[in-house]
């Protein structure tokens, strides 16, 4: 049986239970990664004696895995300590991913003749965040970044109209990209890897998405992007079918092409979000945000759709305790449109690795 292990680094102090099993003073170690929250988090509850010293602002990193696994530990989060809560018996340390810097960055700037990716790169630079993968996305004639909203909010708004995902890698690099192309696929089989599973189905928020810009640019030439228009109809983008219709107004989308791209991305996201699956497995830190999971061999139940299929990883929660060991909870979303084609990429980690 593999023995769970971890390495936590806070500032210049390190505890590594794979090198010294008796070094663990942690009562609980929990890491929560989620595409739908502004910043990922780590919570370390440790004893008063022998624990890692921590102060708000210290760098923190977490690696998880198994002491007896030849692959070693896997980095799951890099960030900053934000809260230290000493108690009578334990000390609770909370850290956020590098996205915390985006939440604390506000600026006023107008971007012209660039892409959504150009703006994201500039915001990441202002926050001191490394860029892992940032695609260009739609061309935007003008976009205003105002100090009323933090950089994280602007990046999420840009991802919304581009139809992109945005999150941070375990090493702290910013990702801003579409779910397409080859992806790591983790195969989880019923009765072999899965400890528990639940499925939630809901009506999509909207059947049809209409996106409206604010310019006659597409019919009057590129130089007319700054004009206002009296007739929006020729320059709106639409995707999906059926009721209700979601109307999205974004002044930055000043061409018909940008509006159409945004409508398709938003409609696909709404359709995918209608089917979500939660899966609990024995700890597997190799599963990262943005990866794909293929569920196999799930039985059919009365009035319940079979869970077999491909899903995108939207949330990961690792929890390590002395009583329960290392467990991983995955929040999965169904695939539609171009994202479904991404599931045809090469399969790796198919039931492999620890456990």
Give the domain CATH number at 328: 2.30.300.10
**Which of 272, 298, 322 is the last residue before a domain boundary?**
272
- Residue 347 near residue 335 (C-beta atoms within 8 A): no
- Judge if 252 and 292 occupy the same domain: no
**Which of 272, 298, 326 is the last residue before a domain boundary?**
272
Indicate whether 45 belongs to any domain: yes
Indicate whether 353 belongs to any domain: no
- Judge if 9 and 88 occupy the same domain: yes
- Judge if 53 and 190 occupy the same domain: no
Q: Is 20 helix (H, G, I), strand (E, B) or coil?
A: coil
- Residue 102 near residue 127 (C-beta atoms within 8 A): yes
Indicate whether 14 belongs to any domain: yes
Give start and end residues of each alpha helix (H) in the chain.
99-103, 116-127, 151-162, 217-220, 256-273, 338-342
- Judge if 90 and 140 occupy the same domain: no
The pLDDT assigned to 339 comes to 61
Indicate whether 115 belongs to any domain: yes
Neighbours of 104 (CB within 10 A): 12
Phi, psi dihedral angles at 228 (to 5 degrees): -95, 160
- Judge if 11 and 91 occupy the same domain: yes
Indicate whether 355 belongs to any domain: no
Q: Taking the mean position of all CA atoms in its chain, how far away is CA 110?
A: 27
- Judge if 195 and 331 occupy the same domain: yes
**Which of 272, 299, 324 is the last residue before a domain boundary?**
272
Could you tell me the residue range of the domain that residue 302 belongs to? Answer: 185-202+274-342
- Judge if 260 and 286 occupy the same domain: no
Indicate whether 350 belongs to any domain: no
- Judge if 20 and 92 occupy the same domain: yes
- Judge if 112 and 65 occupy the same domain: no
Indicate whether 352 belongs to any domain: no
pLDDT tens digits in sequence order for the chain, 355 residues long: 678 889 999 999 999 888 776 667 889 999 999 999 999 999 999 988 878 999 999 999 999 999 877 678 999 999 999 999 999 889 999 999 999 999 999 999 999 889 999 999 999 999 999 999 999 998 888 889 999 999 999 999 999 989 899 999 999 999 999 988 778 899 999 989 999 999 988 888 888 998 887 654 445 555 555 555 665 565 678 888 888 989 887 777 777 778 888 888 888 888 888 889 999 999 999 999 999 999 998 887 654 567 899 999 999 999 999 888 999 999 999 987 656 655 555 454 544 444 5
For the chain, what is the domain count? 4
- Judge if 300 and 197 occupy the same domain: yes
Indicate whether 348 belongs to any domain: no
- Judge if 246 and 281 occupy the same domain: no
- Judge if 338 and 189 occupy the same domain: yes
Domain of 147, CATH number, reads 3.55.50.10
Neighbours of 14 (CB within 10 A): 13
């Amino acid at each position: 049986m593999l023995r769970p292990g971890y390495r936590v680094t806070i500032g210049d102090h390190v505890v590594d239970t794979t090198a010294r099993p008796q070094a663990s003073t942690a009562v609980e170690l929990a890491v929560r990664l989620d595409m739908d929250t502004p910043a990922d988090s780590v919570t370390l509850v440790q004893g008063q004696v022998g624990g890692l010293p921590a102060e708000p602002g210290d760098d923190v990193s977490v690696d998880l895995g198994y002491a007896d696994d030849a692959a070693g530990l896997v980095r799951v989060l890099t960030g900053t300590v934000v809260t230290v809560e000493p108690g009578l018996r334990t000390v609770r340390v909370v850290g956020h991913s590098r996205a915390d810097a985006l939440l604390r960055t506000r600026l006023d700037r107008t971007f012209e003749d660039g892409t959504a990716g150009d703006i994201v790169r500039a915001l990441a630079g202002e926050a001191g965040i490394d860029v892992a993968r940032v695609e260009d996305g739609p061309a935007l004639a003008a976009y205003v970044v105002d100090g009323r909203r933090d950089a994280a909010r602007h990046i999420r708004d840009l991802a919304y109209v581009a139809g992109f995902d945005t999150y941070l890698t375990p090493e702290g690099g910013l990702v801003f990209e579409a779910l397409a192309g080859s992806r790591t696929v983790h195969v989880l089989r019923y009765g072999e890897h899965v400890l528990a599973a639940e499925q939630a189905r809901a009506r999509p928020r909207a059947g049809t998405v209409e996106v409206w810009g604010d310019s006659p640019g597409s019919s009057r030439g590129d130089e007319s992007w700054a004009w206002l228009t009296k007739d929006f109809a020729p320059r709106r983008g639409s995707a999906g079918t059926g009721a209700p219709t979601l109307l999205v107004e974004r002044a930055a989308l000043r061409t018909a092409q940008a509006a159409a791209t945004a409508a398709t991305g938003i409609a696909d996201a709404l359709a995918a979000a209608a089917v979500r699956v939660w899966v609990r497995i024995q700890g597997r830190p190799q599963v990262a945000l943005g990866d794909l999971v293929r569920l196999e061999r799930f039985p059919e139940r009365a009035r319940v759709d079979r869970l077999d299929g491909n899903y995108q990883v939207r949330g990961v929660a690792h929890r390590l305790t002395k009583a329960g060991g290392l467990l991983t909870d995955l929040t999965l979303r169904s695939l539609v449109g171009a994202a479904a084609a991404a599931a045809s990429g090469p399969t790796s980690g198919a039931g492999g690795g620890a456990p």
